[in-house]
Amino acid sequence: MLYLFFNSDLNHSLSIFLALLFVLFYEAINGFHDTANSVSTLIYTRATSAHFAVIMSGLFNFLGVLLGGLTVAYAIVHLLPNDLLINADSKNALAMVFSMLSATILWNLSTWYFCLPASSSHSLIGSIIGIGLTNAIIKDLSLINALNIPKMTSIFLSLIFSPIVGLIIAGSLVFLLRYVSKKNKNFYRIHMTPVERKEMDGKKNPPFLIRIFLIFSSIGVSYAHGANDGQKGIGLIMLVLISIAPSSFLVNLNASKNEINCTKNAIFNLEKYYSNNNKSFNDSYNKRLFDRCYYFKIKKNVKNIKLVLYNTSSYNKLNIEEKTQLRHFLLCISDEINNIINSSHITVKDRYYLEKTQKNVLKTVEYAPIWIILVVAFSLSIGTMIGWKRIVITIGEKIGRKKMTYAQAMSAQITASFSIGIASYTGIPVSTTHILSSSVAGTMLIDGDGVQMKTIKNIALSWILTLPVSILLSSFFYWITLFFI
């Protein structure tokens, strides 16, 4: 980490330090803003004490970041077109980074202050959109090319549909538990609130097995949150470093000889694969699947990569121009592979082969040094342990009209942990807040308890406003920063 500051002048070192500080501050805010998602159900069902729940959440958020991979991280990085990242001068890069983070932090703090469980993911993505659009307007570029539209579309769809899925699945789980408890009367306690449990059994804590399920489902939410939202922090730091210190981070300078050879072999195999299919281009299937436009783009980029990597055993030997070209060509090939993978005509065998090849193509581009993963994990974990009370009250008391039952808490947490876990594995950045809040609402509705419409309207308003406000804030900050820098 320290090498970032040894090889640059004071102003550049200070810029990098401040940018990293902003990202870690954002991640800490994300921690205490979203902690309620995993601890509110534990606290309000009296499964554990508040302090134990928060410490446990912090620990498993840390582990989630550490073991969660990088698929979501690079979904964030690739929201901005590659050309914008690697062609920005230091002034633009700094303005872009500070404006994006300032807008996100300001909105997250505002919603936290008003006890609204808004989405950190929405605010971050909105800020990135604002930067891309403003940059295009300033430089008189096409607004269509200002953003990675295919990646943006898939993320938007996930953010829109994930709360709906959460509401339906959590409600279905409660319905299933109601059905089971009717068949087996031993399960009736699962539909009690802590107050009802104390009145009937004289005990304040849930029954042992229910308590274990609540704790483990809460652990699942914490781990999944770390794996998904922690990766966003990793992606932000990589975005910052690629923009401000491209010579050190455009490609993985610590890539081993085997990893570089893996990239070379993937390129060679891909060239061979496309050549073989191009020979049979007269076949109607290949006409649909291997459009000549795709083929020639792949062929051109493969040729360029082979020139850059010829006799290269270490990326440290490449100059800045070669690193820039290599990253650009590899990402272009990845995009063309996506075009084929997304084709409705592709066979399962071809899809599997191309997905595997794509991972190998990006092996030395989509990476993160271990120190970045550790500092993000620490920031999210520490943030998780502070400032959690405000949102906890909203989720625990103000969504439903009645107190939360054990079944409702368990169903909401199981739904959230599995939904977020699957999203993290597939590389989709979703909102932990949206999924858990909608899951809690779903359990209340299916049980006939109803929801507090005032709270739901406030939450819905914050959800609706997050994207446009973040876009406007980041655009404003970017414009002002460029003017004064």
Q: Is residue 318 located within the same domain as residue 423?
A: no
Residue 451, φ and ψ in degrees, nearest 5: -125, 160
- Say which range, 242-246, 395-399, 402-406, has the weakest mean pLDDT: 395-399
Confidence at residue 378, expressed as pLDDT on a 0 to 100 scale:
92
CB 78 within 8 A of CB 147: no
Q: Which of 335, 361, 387 is where one domain is finished?
A: 361
Q: Is residue 53 located within the same domain as residue 154?
A: yes
Q: Is 205 exposed, middle or buried (0-12, 13-18, 19+ CB in 10 A)?
A: middle
pLDDT at 246 exceeding the cut of 90: no
Q: Is 377 exposed, middle or buried (0-12, 13-18, 19+ CB in 10 A)?
A: buried
Distance between CA atoms of residues 226 and 170, nearest Å = 21
Q: Considering the domain boundaries, does residue 224 fall inside one?
A: yes
Helix axes 90-113, 208-244, angle to 10 degrees: 150
Question: How many domains is the chain built from?
Answer: 2
Alpha helices in 404-452 (DSSP H): 406-426, 432-446
Q: Of 93-102, 151-160, 303-312, 411-420, which has the strongest mean pLDDT?
A: 411-420
Distance between CA atoms of residues 423 and 228, nearest Å = 8
pTM of the model: 0.81
Instruction: For residue 324, give both structure tokens.
Output: 């820039």
Q: Is residue 213 located within the same domain as residue 120?
A: yes
Averaged pLDDT of the chain: 79
Q: Considering the domain boundaries, does residue 4 fall inside one?
A: no
The residue range of the domain holding 468 is 9-247+369-484
Q: Considering the domain boundaries, does residue 256 fall inside one?
A: yes
CB 197 within 8 A of CB 49: no
Q: Is residue 401 located within the same domain as residue 322?
A: no
Residue 118, φ and ψ in degrees, nearest 5: -85, 170
CB 141 within 8 A of CB 133: no
pLDDT tens digits, residue range 452-475? 677 677 777 777 888 889 999 999
Q: Is residue 290 located within the same domain as residue 232?
A: no
| Helix, strand, coil % in the chain, rounded to nearest 5 | 80, 0, 20
Q: Which of 305, 336, 361 is where one domain is finished?
A: 361
Q: Which of 295, 327, 361 is where one domain is finished?
A: 361
Q: Is residue 151 located within the same domain as residue 15?
A: yes
Residue 282: pLDDT band (50, 70, 90) is: very low
Q: Is residue 179 located within the same domain as residue 306?
A: no
Distance between CA atoms of residues 55 and 328, nearest Å = 43
Q: Is residue 98 located within the same domain as residue 133?
A: yes
Distance between CA atoms of residues 232 and 13, nearest Å = 23
Distance between CA atoms of residues 320 and 271, nearest Å = 26
Q: Considering the domain boundaries, does residue 3 fall inside one?
A: no
Q: Is residue 175 located within the same domain as residue 79?
A: yes
Confidence at residue 7, expressed as pLDDT on a 0 to 100 scale:
58
Q: Is residue 30 located within the same domain as residue 54?
A: yes
Q: Is residue 215 located within the same domain as residue 238?
A: yes
Distance between CA atoms of residues 396 and 411, nearest Å = 14
pLDDT tens digits, residue range 209-238? 888 988 998 898 889 888 888 888 898 888
CA 440 to chain centre: 22
pLDDT at 431 exceeding the cut of 60: yes
Residue 199: what residue type?
Answer: E
Higher-scoring residue by pLDDT: 88, 41: 41
CA 370 to chain centre: 18
Confidence at residue 207, expressed as pLDDT on a 0 to 100 scale:
84
Residue 191: what residue type?
Answer: H
Q: Is residue 333 located within the same domain as residue 320?
A: yes
Could you tell me how many residues make up the chain?
A: 485
Residue 35: what residue type?
Answer: T
Torsion 381-386-389-391 (CA) sign: negative
Phi-psi region of 255 (alpha: psi -120 to 50; beta: other; left: phi over 0): beta
Higher-scoring residue by pLDDT: 403, 124: 124
